[in-house]
């Protein structure tokens, strides 16, 4: 680690004391204290700061993801989708879905599954009579998406804007809707969705417990909760390399590519602040989910947590 210096610690403590004092006075008015990266702020401040971070990075979000992870985030999201293994007819809610990466993968996946089903069906139909074939044409008139649907929900208007634009550019139109909403208070009815996903979003939620409760509420019985998020690396060597890369390279990439050092400094700090795998698992269980489990990717840099509403 970079060497510690006593004067720095002094500044830290003095600042900390000041904050505690301010916090006492403010706490009465603005609510409980929480963290923003390595800073201590009120919950209201944190929500505001995070909103501003994503407002600022929205246009360069995808470019930055590719640069920071050297494209590996695409593999993570692909693995996530394979784990979900949705069948056609699934209703998916993708929270903090911003620029649509999960939503588009979902649509591609169910389309591919549908195509395979159709092909298999065609093979079986090779020896049917003309009557039966024309009947099956009427049945299959619906497009390959059928009634698979994904609702992309995000708290940030700018991220949704980028997502909608991407959808237009890539040609995704049906089975996709965009809703402005807060993970802690979803604008949906109870027992609505088959699958709830939140990819690289739950870290930015201020009250994770509320978001998990909301996830439970909007899922149908039998529905599945899936969370893809940065997590903790236990291997000491990997951890040191990961820290070095995170703290030395990522903010520099943020400055050079997006002109925004501070947002990416926040990003790496928020990853360190996020609960590790077991703790998150416990929180998910607390919200009422069963068969909660997690899978580490790349030694714990990223983890997929899964739970069911039974």
Task: State in angstroms the smallest separation of the CB of 269 from other proteins.
Answer: 7
Strand, helix or coil at 276? coil
The CB-of-44 to other proteins minimum distance in angstroms stands at 20
> Cα–Cα distance between 219 and 280 in angstroms, integer?
19
User: What is the secondary structure of 75-112 as a DSSP string?
Assistant: HHHHHHHHHH-PPTT-EEEEET-TT-HHHHHHHHHHHH
Q: Would you say 15 or 135 has its CB closer to other proteins?
A: 15
Residue linked to tokens 């600042």: 15
Q: How far is the CB of 256 from other proteins (least distance, A)?
A: 4
CB nearer to other proteins: pick between 229 and 269 = 269
Nearest to 181 by CA among 99, 93, 95: 95
CB of 266 to other proteins, least distance (A): 11
d(CA 173, CA 288): 35
Nearest to 166 by CA among 97, 111, 85, 79: 97
Task: Tell me how far apart the alpha carbons of residues 262 and 275 are, in angstroms, rounded to a whole number.
Answer: 22
Smallest separation, CB 234 to other proteins (Å): 16
Instruction: Copy the structure tokens of residue 277.
Output: 């795998």
Q: Summarize as ranges the residues that interact with other proteins (CB under 8 A).
A: 1-2, 4, 8, 11-12, 15-16, 38-40, 243-244, 247-249, 251-253, 255-257, 259, 261-262, 265, 269, 272
- Judged by beta carbon, residue 112 or residue 244, the one nearer other proteins is 244
Which of 256-263's residues contact partners 24+ apart within 8 Å by CB, and which partners?
257/60, 257/63, 257/64, 257/67, 258/56, 258/57, 258/60, 258/63, 258/64, 260/56, 260/57, 260/60, 263/53, 263/56, 263/57
Minimum CB distance to other proteins smaller for 10 or for 282: 10
CA distances from 209 to 28, 37, 205, 275 (A): 22, 19, 9, 12
Nearer to other proteins, 62 or 255 (CB): 255
Please state the closest distance from residue 260 (CB atom) to other proteins, in A. 10
| Residue (118 or 256) nearer to other proteins, CB | 256
- For residue 23, the minimal CB distance to other proteins (Å) is 13
The backbone torsions φ and ψ at residue 228, rounded to the nearest 5 degrees and listed phi first, read -115, 120
Strands 39-42, 91-95: pairing kind:
unpaired
Smallest distance, other proteins to C-beta of residue 233, A: 13
Three-state SS string over 212-228 comes to HHHHHHHEEEEEEEEEE
Question: Cβ closer to other proteins: 113 or 253?
Answer: 253
Q: Is the dihedral of CA 164, 268, 249, 240 positive or negative?
A: negative
Nearer to other proteins, 51 or 261 (CB): 261
């Amino acid at each position: 680690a970079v060497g510690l210096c006593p004067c720095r610690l002094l500044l830290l403590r003095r600042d900390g004391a000041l904050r505690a004092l301010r916090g006492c006075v403010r706490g009465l008015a603005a609510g409980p204290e929480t963290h923003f990266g390595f800073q201590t702020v009120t919950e209201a401040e944190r929500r505001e700061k995070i909103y501003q971070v994503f407002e600022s990075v929205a246009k360069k979000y995808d470019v930055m993801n590719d640069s920071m992870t050297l494209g590996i985030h695409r593999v993570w999201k692909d693995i996530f989708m394979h784990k979900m293994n949705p069948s056609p007819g699934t209703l998916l809610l993708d929270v903090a879905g911003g620029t649509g990466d999960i939503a588009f993968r979902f649509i591609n996946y169910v389309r591919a599954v549908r195509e395979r089903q159709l092909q298999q069906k065609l093979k079986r139909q090779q020896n049917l009579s003309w009557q039966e074939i024309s009947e099956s044409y009427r049945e299959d008139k619906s497009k390959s998406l059928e009634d698979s649907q994904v609702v992309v929900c995000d708290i940030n208007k700018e991220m949704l804007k980028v997502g909608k634009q991407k959808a237009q550019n890539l040609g995704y139109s049906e089975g996709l809707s965009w809703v402005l909403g807060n993970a802690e208070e979803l604008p949906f009815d109870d027992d609505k969705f088959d699958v709830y996903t939140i990819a690289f979003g739950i870290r930015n939620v201020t009250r994770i417990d509320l978001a998990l409760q909301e996830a439970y509420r909007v899922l149908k019985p039998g529905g599945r909760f899936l969370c893809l998020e940065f997590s903790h690396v236990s291997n000491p060597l990997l951890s040191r390399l990961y820290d070095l890369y995170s703290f030395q390279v990522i903010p520099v990439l943020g400055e050079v590519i997006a002109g925004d050092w501070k947002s990416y400094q926040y990003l790496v700090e928020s990853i360190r602040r996020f609960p590790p795998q077991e703790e998150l698992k416990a929180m998910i269980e607390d919200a009422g989910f069963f068969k909660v489990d997690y899978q580490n990717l790349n030694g714990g840099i990223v983890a997929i947590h899964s739970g069911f509403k039974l």
